Amino acid sequence: MNSELVNKHGGLREDLSPFIKEFKHALYIIKRSPLTLLGFILFLIFITIAIVAPIIAPYDPFEMRLSEAFQPPSWKHPFGTDEMGRDILSRVLWGSRISLRVGVTVVLTALCIGTILGGIAGYVGGVVDEVIMRITDLVLAFPSMILALALAAALGPGLNNAMIAISVTWWPWYARLVRGQVLSIREAGFVEASRCVGASGFRILFRHILPNAFGPVIVNASMDFGWTILTAAALGFLGIGAQPPQPEWGLMISVGRIYFMDKPWIATFPGLAIFLVVLASNLIGDGLGEILNPRLRRR
Amino acid sequence: MKSGEDVILRVVNLKKYFPLGGWFFKRRSGYVKAVDGVDLEIYRGETAALVGESGCGKTTLGRTILRLIEPTSGEIYFEGVNLLKLSKGEMRKMRMNMQLVQQDPQSALDPRMTVKASVGEPLVVHGIARGRELRRRVLHLLRRVGLGEEHMNRFPQEFSGGQRQRICIARALALNPKFIVLDEPTSSLDVSVQAQILNLLKDLQRDLGLTYLFISHNLSVVRYISDHVYVMYLGNIVEKAETREIFKNPLHPYTRTLFSAVPIPDPNLKRKRLSIKGEVPSAIDPPPGCRFHPRCPEAMEVCSRVKPELREVEPGHQVACHLYR
């Protein structure tokens, strides 16, 4: 009889049920807050565009037609054309791929380095903590934009080097955040309980401490996604990020700036694209803060 | 009572000093002597209660016995094995025999784990059960503490305090331990729920032959559940006796004042309220001699010089006080 019971209720479906419940809760919060919903919609549009850009872009983003240079927005070129006669809509659409790559790579790199170092610092403590955190302070003490500029310039211009430079200036924030989280969670009752049960330090760190520390980290990451794109655009704007003729938004603004007074569309549309992506990432960050807080769940 | 002479846990001269001040830049400025030379003997199948006011080191002592805090010095024998001599790996195995139920069930359960995962964790950690078998065992444990199948896949924040404490007890039982440290398991619960949990603990003890170290400051609870009582003051054990004996005949001046504070449910009963002056002295720089002497109503000259040892004054009744010798 007992085995029947197990057969009926055991198995994969039951193991998944708490996660399905979690997912439903996330949907509920998203539905309740229109701004979060807007953020997710904008972000989904952004991702979709990045994926299908080669299909939906009306023109080749690199193709120059000098005879069609500086055309204002029209039905033929909805966002107009730039100084080389390239279609700006196509370039903005293609630019989303670069931005997506920058955002994902930089945030993931910074998050991984920061989480590992911050996690170790907080969990081990003592001398290790002291050493890691002083290095972190060292990097943070330097104005991040200037450090990124200097690094990118030293590594040589180019998008990949810009991404490396931004990652290097970005991880200390995660190290600090994770360390603080780990320090407080390390003292929680369930960590002691787990230790008492005989769990290894590895298991405690990865199964108990880090998952509980991750809420604020994810929130931070989703906001940083926008900021790193903005920083990469700034480096592009200053000439040490993406190089021409890449359809990078910051670079496009940089070129469009020269003609801004009489041909504003060249800089405006890439600028709008950056604005919308950064906005989306911030709105999602706020929403996630609520979704990921277990204490706010179901009362 | 049923205790016999079978000692399951013996603690000898256990000390835990927490250093004050930090590392590198700061100088070490002293020690908090949270546990300062404690001897305990707990018999198999009994409940030993550890009572004392907040900050006297009860919790630290409980944690140190389980080696969740490394002691500064001393010996802890569990069934004759000195725990402090065990390697990390051996200690991990040893933990199957000794468990902890914490004071605050709010924080004792990982908010990101389902009840099934939390209760099953000990079994997974020691590689005892997985999959269906794990589920079957967890269900059995939950039923044991009065919960059911429908609770398995919920998260801790969906439960009340009493239910959470039941979950914690189920987790503590998962490895079939012989000895459980109960660190004020009922102090954060309502009175009615407290009674339920206490009865559950009693039933479990009877059915599974468990030994408890029950840490509490609630003397009515202690009287109800325990066989022996240890009274702790500022890192020292000042008195030890069987529960009935100590409630009837408290000897140490501290125990007497402590026990005179227990409310008696009889409005007509008049009795002398003993009270002591002042605060608990700091454990950083404890007073010399008997630690209680600055507050003791019967302090003598010798008390400030010589620290009294725990001494048997009546059969089974030990007290550390210069009044009895």
- CA-CA distance, A177 to B208, in Å (whole number)? 45
Q: Decide: A122 and A183 in contact? Cβ < 8 Å.
A: yes
Q: Quote the pLDDT of residue A4.
A: 41
Lookup result for tokens 């700091």: B282
Out of A195, A203, A208, whose CB is closest to B68? A195
Q: What is the pLDDT of residues A177-205, one digit of tens each?
A: 999 999 999 989 999 999 999 998 889 99
Q: What is the pLDDT of residues B138-183, one digit of tens each?
A: 999 999 999 999 999 888 988 999 999 999 999 999 999 999 999 9
- CA-CA distance, B307 to B133, in Å (whole number)? 55
Please indicate if any CB of chain B lies within 8 Å of the CB of A193. yes
Q: Quote the pLDDT of residue B64.
A: 94
Q: What is the pLDDT of residues A137-169, one digit of tens each?
A: 999 998 888 999 999 999 998 899 999 999 999
Query: Of A72, A85, A77, nearest to A57 (Cα)?
Result: A77
A26 lies in some domain:
no
Percent of chain A with pLDDT over 70: 93
CATH number of the structural domain spanning residue A87: 1.10.3720.10
A22 lies in some domain:
no
- CA-CA distance, B217 to B306, in Å (whole number)? 28
Q: Quote the pLDDT of residue B3.
A: 43
The backbone region for B67, taken as left when phi is positive above 0, alpha when psi lies in -120 to 50, beta otherwise, is left
Lookup result for tokens 């911030």: A282
A3 lies in some domain:
no
Q: Quote the pLDDT of residue B210.
A: 94
A6 lies in some domain:
no
> Average of pLDDT values for A286-293?
80
Please indicate if any CB of chain B lies within 8 Å of the CB of A189. yes
Range of the domain at A86: 33-296
Q: Quote the pLDDT of residue B5.
A: 64
Q: Output the six-digit token pair for A54.
A: 């080669």
Please indicate if any CB of chain B lies within 8 Å of the CB of A200. yes
Q: Quote the pLDDT of residue A7.
A: 43
Q: What is the pLDDT of residues A115-127, one digit of tens each?
A: 999 999 999 988 9
A94 lies in some domain:
yes
pLDDT at A72 exceeding the cut of 50: yes
A1 lies in some domain:
no
Out of A9, A189, A212, whose CB is closest to B108? A189
| Contact residues, B window 74-103, toward A, CB-based 8 Å cutoff | 92-93, 95-96, 99-100, 102
Q: Quote the pLDDT of residue A138.
A: 93
Contact A130 B24 (CB under 8 A): yes
- Mapped onto helix, strand or coil, the DSSP state of residue A205 is helix
Nearest CA in chain A to B65: A196
Count the Cβ atoms, other than its own, within 10 Å of residue B157: 15
For A13, what's the count of Cα atoms within 13 Å in the CB-facing half-sphere?
5
Query: Of B243, B239, B281, B269, nearest to B256 (Cα)?
Result: B239
Q: Which of B125, B152, B175, B180 to mutate to test the interface with A (most CBs of A within 10 A)?
A: B125
Separation in Å, CA B7 to CA B42, B43, B51, B136: 6, 4, 20, 34
- CA-CA distance, B311 to A77, in Å (whole number)? 98
A177 lies in some domain:
yes
Contact B110 A18 (CB under 8 A): no
List Cβ neighbours of A146 (8 Å cut-off, separation of 6 or more).
none
- CA-CA distance, A49 to A55, in Å (whole number)? 9
Contact A297 B155 (CB under 8 A): yes
- How near does any CA of chain B get to the CA of A108, in Å? 23
Percent of chain A with pLDDT over 90: 62
A132 lies in some domain:
yes
State the virtual CA torsion across B79, B83, B88, B90 in degrees, nearest 10: -20
Low-confidence stretches of chain B (pLDDT beneath 50): 1-4
Number of domains in chain A: 1
Position A296 confidence tier, pLDDT thresholds 50, 70, 90: low
Contact A126 B23 (CB under 8 A): yes
Query: In this predicted complex, what is the ipTM?
Result: 0.86
Q: CA quadruple B194, B198, B199, B201: dihedral positive or negative? A: positive
Q: Quote the pLDDT of residue A144.
A: 86
H helices present in A76-125, as ranges: 88-124
Query: Of B185, B84, B216, nearest to A193 (Cα)?
Result: B185
- Mean of per-residue pLDDT scores for chain A: 88
Query: Of B33, B91, B63, nearest to B184 (Cα)?
Result: B63
B-chain residues near A192 (CB < 8 A): 63, 68, 100, 102
Torsions phi, psi of B34, nearest 5?
-70, -40
Q: Quote the pLDDT of residue A11.
A: 55
pLDDT at A8 exceeding the cut of 50: no
- The β-bridge relationship of strands B236-242 and B317-319 is antiparallel
Please indicate if any CB of chain B lies within 8 Å of the CB of A199. yes
* From A101-110, A166-175, A180-189, A285-294, the region with the lowest mean pLDDT: A285-294
